[in-house]
Amino acid sequence: MGTRGVAGTTVRGVAEQSGIAARYFYESFAGIEELQLAVFDQIATEAAERSVAALGAAPDDVRARTRAVLAAMADLFLEDPRKGRIALVESITSPVLGPRVLEESRRFAGMLAATRSSGDPSGPADVTADEVLTARFLIGGVAHALSAALQGDVRVEREHLVDVLVDLFLGANLRR
């Protein structure tokens, strides 16, 4: 999926690439759609875990915390372009993955809004509509910026990309 795209991923291709017989594929997955969801969910879980770990390890300073999380996301999606392609490019056009992308963007926006409101990504859900809207806007913007860098639409060094994303994040007024 990360090299041939969702449309180019077949059970036969997966079996050949992994060195297993197709029948063994079906012992783990009902079909290619189930594999697509499992791979996407694994990447989303890794993104959430890295975000929370980066947030927890960063100094108690808004800029440092923001930078830590955005750098962790840039590393995840740019260091292994297959993960970036699946999560940021292929998923938005896939009828199977599209609904899951919406769920995950809601979840990540909720984590962002809760972090801003309470300092804790698993904090209370009593955030304002402004916080939710701004968080959704920021999550979408980061995804598209990382996608542009990943696909070569914009040539930018990782550090500069993270700097720009941090400035945009901090410039967005997440009101309380």
Report percent pLDDT > 90 for the chain: 49
Contacts with 120 (C-beta within 8 Å, 6 or more apart), sequence order? 114
Q: For the segment 47-88, what is each residue's pLDDT rounded down to a tens digit? A: 999 999 998 898 888 889 889 999 999 999 999 999 999 999
So what's the pLDDT on residue 34?
A: 94
CA atoms within 13 A on the CB side of 33: 8
Evaluate whether 32 touches 11 at the Cβ level (below 8 Å).
Answer: yes
Structure confidence at residue 8 as a pLDDT band (50, 70, 90): confident
What is the average pLDDT across 24-28?
87
- Kindly report the average pLDDT of the chain as a whole number: 87
Domain ranges for the chain: 32-171
Evaluate whether 94 touches 5 at the Cβ level (below 8 Å).
Answer: no
Residue 31 φ then ψ, to 5°: -175, 180
- pLDDT of 120 strictly over 70: no
Evaluate whether 19 touches 13 at the Cβ level (below 8 Å).
Answer: no
Q: For the segment 150-175, what is each residue's pLDDT rounded down to a tens digit? A: 999 999 999 999 999 999 988 886 54
CA angle 69, 6, 108 (to 5 degrees): 25
| Class of the CATH-defined domain 32-171 | mainly alpha
- 161: amino acid identity, one letter: L
Q: Bigger pLDDT: 115 or 77?
A: 77
